[in-house]
Structure 1
Amino acid sequence: MSPHGNENLSVMSLQEFVLEGFGGSLQTQALLFALFLALYMVAVLGNLTMTVVITLDARLHSPMYFFLKNLSFLDLCYASIITPNTLANLFSSSKVITFAGCATQLFFFSLLCTTQGFLLAVMAYDRFLAVCRPLHYPITMRPSACARLVLGSYCAGCFNSIVQTSFTFSLPFCSSNHINHFFCDVPPLLRLACGDTTINELLLFGICGLIIVGVTVVVLISYGYITVTILRMCSAAGRHKIFSTCGSHMTAVTLLIGTVFVMYAQPGAVESMEQGKVVSIFYTLVIPMLNPLIYSLRNKDVKDALWRLGQKHTTT
């Protein structure tokens, strides 16, 4: 509980919050620090590598890798808006974040998370066109169209972010300024509100539910058509390459959609903050770390590009 009285706390809550993070002894905090730092370093290194390789290798200048580069950029930003502050707070006595800082963190977290979901749907649509409509693919997925699809994903993410952030921070916070989480998110903030949060919970479950359903439907329909097309192919090598690429994408979609559903789009998600912390670690750190590994280890083109880049660096 906060040491402040209720009268002072209602004023204090408009200026700063306290991120309680994870409890435990100093040894536990040190272990979490080492774990978070290792996950973050792998995520940064992996996503930077993917971005650089796709940018420098002309053979990867195609719509699929354009979207993959944007996914790597999102993962890099995604982890970076939360993890550095979390690492600092693990050994901090105050763990304070300003009201404006909390709102900013929630805004960008929601923006990047939502954009990533829509981008994964765009990537599924791109694979559908490449496999099932190969003759029309170069015209349909020309550079300007790819840019518009990415921009549309960001616009959709921005809309959800504005709605969630504005509605959350329009609530009165007067019961406590201690957030039972390691970053500013909607569910723990709703627990601090002393007003009616029914509309906020409906918006959270409703919008997140629609996004999850929409992305899932696009992915399932796309891969349904892709599966039928693959089964009709005569070339075993062609089938293997498509299955490898699509399998990587399906793994990334399943990881993100599954964790977001557990956290935001089910009844009672707001009440389970301890479970929420564990799930949040997964989608704020583990997924950004895994995505580059999933796409590079199962993608021959990316592995070949990494080898060529390494050879070029060695010879120079």
Structure 2
Amino acid sequence: MPEMPEVQGLADFLRTKLLPGDAPPARVAEVEVLSFAVLKTAAVPLEALQSGPVTAVERRGKYLIITAGEAHLVMHLAKAGWLRWSEALKPGKLRPGKGRMALRVRFASPEADGDEPGFDLTEAGTKKSLAVYLVRDPGEVPGIARLGPEAFDVGFQAFAALVAGHRGQIKGLLRDQSVIAGIGNAYSDEILHAAHLSPFANASRLHPEEVERLYQAMRAVLESANENAAGRPAAELKDSKRRALRVHARTGELCPVCGDTVREVSFADSSLQYCPACQTGGKLLADRRMSRLLK
């Protein structure tokens, strides 16, 4: 799933294409909805995006927002969605179908020399969760309205209060978008590994030094990921993320810190990875839903 660093990378990349600075901004020429399930609101007509030039490309949490004309195109890539940019989309309309294509946006750009640049939103797999909203105000999107503060906007004292007030496991707190926006399954694994904490540690029972360690790990992991994503084209962001991960999606590989084997806990529709030596004192987590430390 694309998380804050990758979505920020996409926003930065699109900004260079749509708001080049040394040329007039691009304009939305056409929006093709190829999977009707992807469009979650019809309160604003698609034509509202064509009423004026692109004025902003932003990120909030894991949402990507393009502002054009009188509307905001808000995109959440969910677990398996992605954005593919093309400097010259093929002419002609696409046929809606059951494949990976969900949405196509064409732009008219003075710098395009007659070609139509644009992007496709695609989604792999059979479970379709990718969501697109067309709104007058991004706050109309329910997920955005529920967002907590961005990770880098949370000071240590506020973070410590959030941790102390959370009665569940620490991994759940990191992933809760209403608590801290932008962190998902992958970076929560990476943060907990860097902090030497079990994903199933009870948040409210962490010692002050563990909370401090967790806070510093959160900032360090996300800063590194942001630096890794900065300046990369959209086509490179997913692979660069995978290469930089230390434990997430590396089940069976050796931990780069201690050399122990990275282990996995599987759930119905997701999994997490951790290093026993670094995070659980060598104990293995039971690989089942509602896992507990093996005794």
Task: Kindly indicate which of the two structures has a greater share of residues assigned to strand.
Answer: 2
TM-score between both structures, scaled by the size of structure 2: 0.33
Bigger relative contact order, structure 1 or 2 (CA pairs below 8 A, ≥6 apart): 1
TM-score between both structures, scaled by the size of structure 1: 0.31
